[in-house]
């Protein structure tokens, strides 16, 4: 149950978001397992994802 998604469509959306963020920082991800990434690469992808989420939230707040 720990890894069960509460919103099934969310996993696909997050995967697309992750692939987009990886492309923006020049990290090539493949579908499925990416355990061969370096910590630096994984951190770059995660950092880009957070940056994009913050920008999206800020834009939502400004447009209220």
Tokens of 58: 């800020």
Q: What is the pLDDT of residue 28?
A: 95
Asked if 48 contacts 24 with a C-beta cutoff of 8 angstroms, the reply is yes
Q: What is the pLDDT of residue 2?
A: 61
pTM: 0.79
pLDDT one-digit tens code per residue, 18-54: 999 999 999 999 988 999 999 999 999 999 999 999 9
Rounded-to-integer distance, Cα 6 and Cα 4, Å: 6
Rounded-to-integer distance, Cα 37 and Cα 6, Å: 28
pLDDT at 64 over 60: yes
Q: What is the pLDDT of residue 12?
A: 87
């Amino acid at each position: 149950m720990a890894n069960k998604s509460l919103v099934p469509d969310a996993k696909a959306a997050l995967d697309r978001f992750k692939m987009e963020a990886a492309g923006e920082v020049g990290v090539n991800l493949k579908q499925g397992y990416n355990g061969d990434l370096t910590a630096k690469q994984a951190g770059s992808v995660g950092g880009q994802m957070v940056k994009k989420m913050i920008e999206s939230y800020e834009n939502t707040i400004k447009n209220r």
